[in-house]
Structure 1
C-alpha cells in the first residue's frame, strides 16, 4: 500500500473510449470525496463536430483542450480539493501538459481488449465518439511509463472492484465519515 498523503489527490482516469473512464472517475471521485470533471465537457465545439464526423483529433486540436483541463486541475488544487477527471490523455506528451500544472497528478488507466471496447462504444447512444475512431485512439495510446505516477487496471471486473483497486493504488486515504 502506498504511503498515505494528507492532501486530496488529483487523479486522471485515462485511456481510449469504451474503458469506462467516466464511470470509474465519477465513482472514484465520490469515494474520495473530491470534485469530478469530465474532459469531454472541455472540448471546443469544433472538436466535437470533427469527432462526430469520424475525423480523429490531432495534437493541434487537443492542445487547447488539454490546457483547459489543466486550468481546471489548477483551480481544484488551489481550492485544496483535488479532483478526479475522466480524460483520454492518450500520449505521454498530453499527460506532461497536465503534470506541468500538477506535478503530483496520478493516473488510473483501465484497459480492455479491442472487441470489448468496440462493443461498449456501439451500445452507447449518448456520446459523440463513434466506433470508427477506436483504432486511431488505440494506435495513438502510449501506456503509462514506469516513471509516471499511476496504475494500469483491467477494466473487466465489476466497477466496485475496479474502483477499490484504483483507491488502493493511490497515496491518499479519505477521512472516515463523520459519526451520525
Structure 2
C-alpha cells in the first residue's frame, strides 16, 4: 500500500453522483423540544445499527441542520423506520417550515418522543456521543426500547424515494 499518496479533493457533485447508486433506508429522527414542548424531526439516510452489546445505533447529520440542535437538547429521541408510501412524511420532515408535524399522524411514546403512525419500527434512543466528521456530525445513541411491525421499507436510491420489492424468479 502506498501511504505517500496525498489525499486529493473529490468534487462534491461527483461524490453525490457516485453515492446515489447506493440504496439506503429512510428514517425520521424525532424528539420533543424541551424548550417549547413541540415535536421536532429530521430525515436521515445514514441510520444503522452499531453494536449489539450494548445496543447502539448511529447516523449522521449535517452541521447546518436546524432540527438536530433541538433534538440533541432533548437528549432522547425516536427513530421511525419509514414504510413504503410514507413519502409525505419524508417531505414534511425535510422541509424548513416551523410546523413539520402539522400534517403528520403521530403520537407520543412512553419516553415522550414522537412516534409516526404507519412506520415499520420505532427505536427510542438516548444520545451518547457526537463526533465531528467533515461537514457532518456522527451521532451514536443507546437504544432504550424498540419495536417493529410488518411492511415494506421506504428506500432512497438514485435521487428518488420508493418501495423495495424482491423480484420473483420465473
- TM-score, normalised relative to structure 1: 0.24
Looking at both structures, which has the greater relative contact order when contacts are Cα pairs under 8 Å and sequence separation is at least 6? 1
**More strand by proportion, 1 or 2?**
2
- TM-score, normalised relative to structure 2: 0.24
